[in-house]
Copies of this chain bind each other. A is one copy, B any other.
């Protein structure tokens, strides 16, 4: 039986409303009384029931965090940063995993809506219109996607993708492949758009392979196709796919970077630990998590001013990229498997 506000009131000989004020508006209560009430509360182990409080104030001090796949190493740093930032502001975080499923996503937002002050929607797969509708039911901050004028934290992956293409072109590659991500991914579209434009500028061919699952398996599954295709360098939707791809290429007897260069995106911890170490585009996921929480908490105050944050990305050159191998020239007749 945890202590309630009534127990504290009884113990300190005041009315419950005085106890209430002691916690939610201390300046309104006499110092002596306050001290006594606090002492009693402490001694009884009293903690205000937030759910009860929320019922009347409308503020839950909870935040919902919805991610596509928490087992994808891209997300944990974001979740960690968001949780830590939320707690700094005395908020708790509901975490839910949609398994990349748009329907689950919608249901989750609605299910959480009543017990949170807002929801952080990370890399959502829903349609824009649905997201806009949901944002009318509960404050939403979108991470990694731009939806109308909704508050959003995006990482400038387009810039990173462009830098990656420029890097490859600079090394002398002329035939590139883009291993794209899952259907419905805003990030994947951004990458594609930016890579296409950059390739055109650099006078490179760019073939698109996909869509694919954003996992190691997704990368592995296109390895054969890449190995037999004309591309001498590949940009993958994320590091996991890049790593799976390298595995698959290795198995097929194709060396990285000697035969084919590979670039990932995300800069997950893992990317520094593969051999060769992966060249990739660093995404500031922790910063994004913090920023998203801040934006949500500022929702009431000054909604407009911080409605949009665009975070820098950066190309990190490691060992999975090199100049094309002159002894592995294009085989004119061999376009098997390319799209």
Q: B-contacting residues of A (Cβ < 8 Å)?
A: 2, 45, 47, 49-52, 54-55, 60, 62, 69-71, 73, 75-77, 79-80, 83-84, 87, 92-97, 99, 110-115, 137, 216, 243, 247, 269-270, 273-275
A275 to B45, CA, bound (A): 53
Question: Distance (Å) between the CB of A85 and the closest chain B CB?
Answer: 11
Q: A62-B94, A80-B97 are in contact. List 6 more A-B contacts (CB 8 A).
A: A50-B114, A70-B83, A83-B95, A83-B97, A84-B97, A270-B273
Contacts of A274 in B (CB 8 A): 273-275
Question: Distance (Å) between the CB of A282 and the closest chain B CB?
Answer: 16
Contacts of A247 in B (CB 8 A): 273
CB of B60 within 8 A of CB of A70, answer: no
Please list the 4 inter-chain residue pairs (A to B) with the smallest Cβ-Cβ separation, ordered nearest first: A275-B275, A51-B51, A95-B95, A71-B76
Whether A71 touches B80, Cβ cut-off 8 Å, given contacts A270-B270, A274-B275, is yes
Contacts of A93 in B (CB 8 A): 94-96
CB of A51 within 8 A of CB of B47, answer: no
A10 to B60, CA, bound (A): 27
CB of B70 within 8 A of CB of A113, answer: no
CB of A79 within 8 A of CB of B95, answer: yes
CB of A110 within 8 A of CB of B70, answer: no
A80 to B52, CA, bound (A): 29
Contacts of A45 in B (CB 8 A): 137
Selected A-B contacts with CB under 8 Å, 27 pairs: A2-B113, A2-B114, A2-B137, A45-B137, A47-B111, A47-B113, A47-B114, A49-B114, A50-B115, A51-B54, A51-B60, A51-B114, A62-B94, A70-B76, A70-B79, A70-B83, A71-B77, A75-B76, A83-B95, A83-B96, A83-B97, A87-B96, A93-B96, A216-B269, A243-B273, A247-B273, A274-B274
